Structure 1
Amino acid sequence: MASLGAFGTRLLLACLVMALVSQIYVEASDASESKSLGLQTNGIHRRLLKTIDCKAACTGRCKAASLKNRCLRACGTCCARCNCVPPGTYGNKQLCPCYANLKTHDNKPKCP
């Protein structure tokens, strides 16, 4: 340190303080972002919305479908994206707007 001189020592100290302040700022902004999204509880990151069992929900939704495999595949994709499957085997899409609004490349409804 003696070879750095007074200016070098001050510069090194200023850099260390700036690094510490930026680390505190990053941690504080991450914590506030997590709280605003509802992701942090007791120091453990987790989602407040529970994920549904897509396989079971889609099995119920597709049980009356004539093309079960196609229905299950489409329903599984929609469920994974929306975390929601409307009740029943047909209709009721108003209860799950995300599921109802997904479209194919041909602008047709994606979800059964």
Structure 2
Amino acid sequence: MKRILLFSSALFASIPALANEGGAINGSAGMYAIAAAVAIGTAAFAGTFAQGKVGASAMEGIARNPEAQKSMFVPMIISLVLIESLVIYALVVAFQLIGKI
């Protein structure tokens, strides 16, 4: 009997929430927020992983041949800049998605 009473009271309490027409608009806003969070989270994770690999590879190359430091420095910096630009692009996309809320 307790279960039936609890179920029926929960059912009757949720009817006004389902009648609200503004709920459909806010439902898509939540999806935009989730998409923005996933976009920047994935980009930040992948960017830091890639930058770590670039740094480790550069340090390994310099450790093997210290004289090659000058020839490795510029390509390493360019690689880091390109990786960081992808993260910044994801941040811009996240801001655009947040702007739709």
Normalising by structure 1, we get a TM-score of 0.29
Q: State the structure with bigger RCO (CA 8 A, min sep 6), 1 or 2.
A: 2
Normalising by structure 2, we get a TM-score of 0.31
